[in-house]
């Protein structure tokens, strides 16, 4: 994976990256560097966290494979430094990693829209694809949809399947289960 312009030595983004890495945010807030812009978001609301919990519970109960999840790992991607609402991977994917790491081995990222839905719908989606993360699941609370993106390339995902809240979404291998989205309303 190529490093983002802000990570390459000698680029004009060096000052932005340095400022980002030195940034201190209030407890619970999240700072990301998305396509050269420093974005600070407030802590999520309870409904946001409930959706993530419901997803993880279904994954544990229904998937034949075992996954590890994190809601706080920073990913170094071609679009910048992104923190998904949830990062999913096999056992050991997070072991020994720094707070920011190249997402080799990550199988899926999950975002639940909140204060900045356009970042989840565009720049973060493209960043996860460019990093080679096989799947990106977007729970769009504004639109009332759940979209699974797959087949990443250097610019975006080539495939997406979208369902309205209340419908099941078939998650392919390695997940291999139907995600019930009725509780995401």
| Mean pLDDT on 130-158 | 98
Query: Is the previous residue joined to 26 through a cis bond, with omega within 30 degrees of 0?
Result: no
Q: Which letter does DSSP use for residue 2 in this model?
A: P
Residues 67-124: pLDDT tens digits? 999 998 999 999 999 999 999 999 999 999 999 999 999 999 999 998 889 999 999 9
pLDDT at 185 (0 to 100): 86
Distance between alpha carbon 16 and the CA centroid of its chain, in Å?
Answer: 22
| Mean pLDDT on 145-166 | 98
Q: What is the DSSP string of 71-126?
A: SS-EEEETTEEE--SEEEESTTSSTT--SEE--TT--EEEEE--S-HHHHHTHHHH
Measure Cα distances from 22 to 31, 78, 131 in Å.
Answer: 11, 20, 24
pTM over 0.85: yes
pLDDT at 108 (0 to 100): 98
- Is the CATH number 3.90.1570.10 carried by domain 44-184? yes
Residue extents of the structural domains in the chain? 44-184
Q: Percentage of residues in the chain with pLDDT exceeding 90?
A: 88
Q: What is the band of 7 on the pLDDT scale with cuts at 50, 70, 90? A: low
């Amino acid at each position: 994976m190529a490093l983002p312009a802000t990570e390459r030595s000698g680029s004009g983004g060096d000052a932005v990256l340095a400022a980002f890495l030195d940034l201190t945010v209030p407890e619970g807030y999240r700072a990301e560097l998305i396509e050269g812009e420093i974005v600070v978001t407030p802590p999520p609301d309870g409904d946001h966290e409930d959706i993530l919990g419901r997803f993880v519970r279904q994954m544990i109960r229904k998937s034949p494979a075992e996954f590890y999840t994190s809601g706080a790992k920073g990913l170094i991607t071609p679009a910048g430094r992104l923190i998904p609402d949830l990062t999913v991977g096999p056992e050991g994917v997070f072991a020994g990693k720094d707070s920011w790491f190249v997402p080799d081995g990550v199988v899926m990222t999950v975002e639940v829209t909140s204060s900045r839905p356009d970042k989840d719908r565009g720049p973060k989606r493209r960043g996860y694809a460019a990093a080679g993360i096989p799947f990106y699941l977007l729970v769009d609370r504004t639109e009332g949809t759940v979209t699974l993106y797959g087949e990443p390339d250097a610019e975006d995902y080539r495939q997406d399947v979208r369902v309205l809240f209340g419908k099941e979404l078939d998650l392919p291998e390695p997940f291999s289960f139907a995600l019930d989205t009725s509780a995401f309303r």
